[in-house]
Chain A
Amino acid sequence: MTSSPLRRTALDAVHRALGATMTDFAGWDMPLRYGSERDEHLAVRTRAGLFDLSHMGEITVTGPQAAALLDHALVGDIGAVKTGRARYTMICREDGGILDDLIVYRLHETDYMIVANASNAQVVLDALVERSAGFDAEVRDDRDAYALLAVQGPESPAIVKSLTDADLDGLKYYAGLPGTVAGVPALIARTGYTGEDGFELFVAPADAEQLWQALTEAGSAAGLVPCGLSCRDTLRLEAGMPLYGHELSTELTPFDAGLGRVVKFGKEADFVGRAALAEAAARAEQNPPRVLVGLVAEGRRVPRAGYAVVADGQVIGEVTSGAPSPTLGRPIAMAYVDAAHAAPGTPGVGVDIRGSHEPYEVVALPFYRRQK
């Protein structure tokens, strides 16, 4: 690793003034938590939380063949996404390995914005540029063009609504529309990574602080609090959402990760990885390797990524993410386990926590589903 200085978001001074504990996340100096991460987590579940997600990597794809390029470069049916809607998808290698998971917003007929993980943004950008050869479309690095603020939690619609004339009631989950929030031009998206209703607001970095302060004020009566990446991780884990580098990697195909549904073999375009992914789909059907499951602790010791999952003294899998769950009140984990042990309720499954085999219950994902 090179020791280049950490990048700071447009809200860096705000985080410091709030006394945030900062952390290096994919080369960015990001707020880990402002106070208690458990309190931040519960605020998002019951009220609302405000996040700075400006480390996420935005890439614009524009031009007459933007849709055709993305149908070729990504595994999803991107041409079928309606203007104003968004889609969760993946970009894979020729061998089917996952390069990243993405959200693609279709802003206009020939204009898409792709949001990549901070750690993979350069890889995704390079792959898209390479795959754009021969297409009448431009791939543009817009990482520095946006700050990203997220308001998540059951109170978030009322909070955002108080600051905009945009039609939020008409804005469905996984949709986005341009508008103005607190006087700031924004792409308003109804997306998130917490398992709650919420919004992600893409704005110019110069406007980020004004928007942050307006949201803080508008949300204070409803109990909105600033939230760091620590609670974002436990929120997404409870919601059973994968995190690249944990549940997803180049060693796995979407089918290995239980996310084969994102691969659209029915689309007309040939796409990078199609042949390998067709094989992976057949393999997953006939002879599944390991399966991604949820584990809930019977005790209080916390499983961590990389810990072995055991049964009868044998290693049958590996934890990919683990944390104490504020909602369940017990430690939880996602893990890849051998198919024979993957059924919910499979007895005798444990996690090797630094040498001691702690009992765990196998459950179906997600751990938490919000009441609609």
Chain B
Amino acid sequence: MSNPQQLRYSKEHEWLSVAEDGVATVGITEFAANALGDVVYAQLPEVGSTVTAGETCGELESTKSVSDLYAPVTGEVTEVNEDVVGDPSLVNSAPFEGGWLFKVRVAEEPKDLLSADEYAAFSAG
């Protein structure tokens, strides 16, 4: 599995892509999606709510378990991926693309986000 180079990563296995307008797209990594198994339910933060880096902002349920979703950055949620709400299996089939989870206007970014290579080393254990 390969982690796209242009993304940055959290130790909670989220990825993030910040656009020029300061809005970041957030999802979970392929590593995390594989570890979860088939995702069957996604509870995403509400549009307009503020999420805080490192704190839970939703949950993902798979066949075997439920996992908290952590915000990789602090900011206001501007959009959630309704396609994933309707079809959570997108998180498994396209974790870095159509399976993105939410967008957030970044107010503050933690300093410990990882590069693709650093995340690959981290997730390899």
Contacts and interface: CB of A to CB of B under 8 A. Distances in A.
Given A230-B64, A301-B61, A304-B66, A324 B40 contact: yes
A304 B37 CA distance: 16
B38 A300 contact: no
B10 interface: no
Contacts of B66: 302, 304, 354
Contacts of A21: 34, 37
A301 B38 contact: no
Interface in B39-81: 40-41, 43, 61, 63-64, 66
B38 A38 contact: yes
A33 interface: yes
Given A301-B41, A302-B41, A324 B63 contact: yes
At the interface, is chain B mostly helix, strand, loop or mixed?
mixed
Given A21-B34, A36-B92, A323 B63 contact: yes
A300 B37 CA distance: 17
Interface residues of A, number: 16
Contacts of B34: 21
Contacts of A33: 37
Interface footprint category on B? 10 to 19
A18 B89 CA distance: 22
Nearest to B59: A354
Contact of A300 (B40, B89, B92): B40
Interface in A129-158: none
A89 interface: no
Contacts, number: 38
Interface string A299-312: 01110100000000
Interface in B11-58: 34, 37-38, 40-41, 43
A302 B61 contact: yes
B63 A37 contact: yes
Contact of B38 (A36, A304, A331, A354): A36
A349 to B, nearest CB: 20
A234 interface: yes
A302 B63 CA distance: 8
Contact of A230 (B37, B43, B61): B37
Max count, chain A CB within 10 A of own CB: residue among B34, B41, B61, B64: B64
Contacts of B61: 301-302, 324
A302 B66 CA distance: 8
A37 B41 contact: no
Contacts of A37: 37-38, 63-64
Contact of A234 (B41, B63, B89): B63
10 contacts: A38-B89, A230-B64, A300-B41, A301-B41, A301-B61, A302-B41, A302-B66, A323-B63, A324-B40, A324-B41
Given A37-B37, A230-B63, A324-B41, 13 more contacts: A36-B37, A36-B92, A37-B38, A37-B63, A38-B38, A230-B37, A234-B63, A301-B43, A301-B61, A302-B41, A302-B61, A323-B64, A324-B63
